[in-house]
């Protein structure tokens, strides 16, 4: 069959994880800079 759906899901998952990671890192950095 086609391998387009799995690729899309994988990209979405990776993108979401990356976005969360960046947000968490930025938040932590800001919190650390505040102290």
| Distances 27 to 3, 9, 23 between C-alpha atoms, Å | 36, 27, 6
Residue 19 has what pLDDT?
Answer: 74
Residue 13 has what pLDDT?
Answer: 74
In this structure, is residue 13 part of a structural domain?
A: yes
Domain assignment of residue 5, given as a range: 1-26
In this structure, is residue 20 part of a structural domain?
A: yes
In this structure, is residue 19 part of a structural domain?
A: yes
Report the domain count for the chain.
Answer: 1
Residue 34 has what pLDDT?
Answer: 58
Give pTM, 2 decimals. 0.30
| Calpha distance 3→19 (Å, rounded) | 24
In this structure, is residue 34 part of a structural domain?
A: no
Phi-psi region of 2 (alpha: psi -120 to 50; beta: other; left: phi over 0): beta
| Calpha distance 7→1 (Å, rounded) | 13
| Calpha distance 16→35 (Å, rounded) | 29
Could you list the pLDDT tens digit for every one of the 35 residues in the chain?
A: 666 666 677 777 777 777 777 777 776 666 666 55
């Amino acid at each position: 069959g086609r391998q387009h759906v799995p690729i899309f899901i994988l990209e979405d998952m990776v993108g979401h994880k990356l976005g969360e990671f960046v947000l968490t890192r930025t938040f932590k950095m800001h919190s650390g800079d505040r102290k």
